[in-house]
Amino acid sequence: MGDVELVNVERGDLDAYVATMRRLFGQPVNAGHAHLKDVLDRSTLARIDGEDVGTAAVIDFQLTVPGGGRIKMDGVTIVVVSPVARRRGVLTAMMDRLLVDARERGAAVLGLGATESSIYRRFGYGIASYSGTAEIETAHAAMRVPIVAPGRLRALSVDQALPVWLDVESRETRVGTIDRKPATWRRLSSPTEPDDAKGVLQVVVHEDDAGVVDGFVNYRQEARWKDEVADWAAHVVEFGALTRDAHLALWQHVLELDLCEQLIMDRFWLDDPVQHLLADPRRLKVIPRDDLHLRVVDPVAVLQARRYSREGTVVIEVRDRTCADIEGRYRLDGGLDGALAARTDAPANIVLDGPSLGSLTLGDVSVAALHAAGLVEETRAGAVQQASAMFAWQPRPLLTYMF
């Protein structure tokens, strides 16, 4: 039984690499993956005795943190291990390689979306944000007060939409947002199957009174017929708005689509203001779920990049069994105007592990909640309450795209 060999995949071999990944997942290569090779920045192939048994890849991102700053994130994607190579150290070898590479390249964090939420904590990843799946019957989607938003809506073709998507995303400051390459947008706008029942991608943008685009919504319409009566569903693929006017106008548009009796959104922002505007808010069914998992690589960079809701000083001791280099105590002086962080020999006020530090990065998970779960130890009276007030952030984050 051979050892795990890790191979860095060359650019010219990415077509075969994508095919291997899809085979290990038990899925065919289809039109929706035509642009995948153009999205990946670094790709790793795991082999045992010459057989391909695992894949993992990284996409370079800038992740927005509380206060609007951005940190360098290695986005981990297409991680899969062959079912005949389980419990042979393949996943551990790949995750260790990704961590080493991130440290060498100066990434502040590694981030991923977990297909199974039980897998990645042992590699140092903590749940840093949540999103939701939302559904509503449009017949029950009336607003308490009709929305009258200035500006206008305009439909675009997918070919026209690319510069708009890139521009709006570049101006987005909401916590959890990331920057995407044109190839990523092209991949997202491609149908996953030739006969996709959800229909072609529709793009509608909102322009303010000056004609500047400040929001867009991408959706597909699934044509369904029940007893010869239209019972269509609108599937919102992505919703990006920079202003309240754009946000509300675009919501009103998708809730009033002709023939559509249901609206479904797979990435619903848990702080979306539409929840407070519906006349019958209970009709909006939202199921929260874990979203972005973060593994802190550089605690000083992470702690200094973000802002804090309350001025204060706290000494944090980090314990990390999978990355001893980040273990130690860190003094944090932070507030709304900035933050300083550095290693220190001072006594700790709170003690936590690496995954818990990842969970606190975006402000969606509280120090108090982790303390109640036994994942944060308080070594100075009142430190948990103080740290909770500092790390909390509103509104809640949303990772706009799960890579």
Establish whether 11 is an annotated binding residue.
no
Separation in Å, CA 343 to CA 32, 65, 108, 378: 46, 21, 16, 19
CA-CA distance, 137 to 20, in Å (whole number)? 41
The answer to whether 131 and 328 are in contact (CB under 8 A) is no
Distance, CA of 380 to chain centre: 34
Establish whether 88 is an annotated binding residue.
yes
Establish whether 89 is an annotated binding residue.
yes
Establish whether 91 is an annotated binding residue.
yes
How many other CB atoms sit within 10 Å of the CB of residue 124? 24
CA-CA distance, 263 to 254, in Å (whole number)? 8
The pairing of beta strand 376-378 with beta strand 350-353: antiparallel
Establish whether 81 is an annotated binding residue.
yes
Establish whether 80 is an annotated binding residue.
yes
- Helix/strand/coil for 1: coil
The answer to whether 362 and 346 are in contact (CB under 8 A) is no
Kindly state the greatest CA–CA separation across the chain. 73
* Residue closest to 333 by CA, chosen among 296, 304, 357: 304
Establish whether 79 is an annotated binding residue.
yes
User: Which residues are annotated as catalytic?
Assistant: 120, 403
Q: Where are the beta strands (DSSP E) in 157-298?
A: 202-207, 213-222, 225-226, 229-230, 232-241, 260-268, 285-290, 292-296
Separation in Å, CA 78 to CA 39, 57, 94: 12, 6, 12
The answer to whether 71 and 65 are in contact (CB under 8 A) is yes
CA-CA distance, 195 to 223, in Å (whole number)? 12
> Which segments are annotated as binding site for acetyl-CoA?
79-81, 87-92, 115-116
> Which segments are annotated as binding site?
79-81, 87-92, 115-116
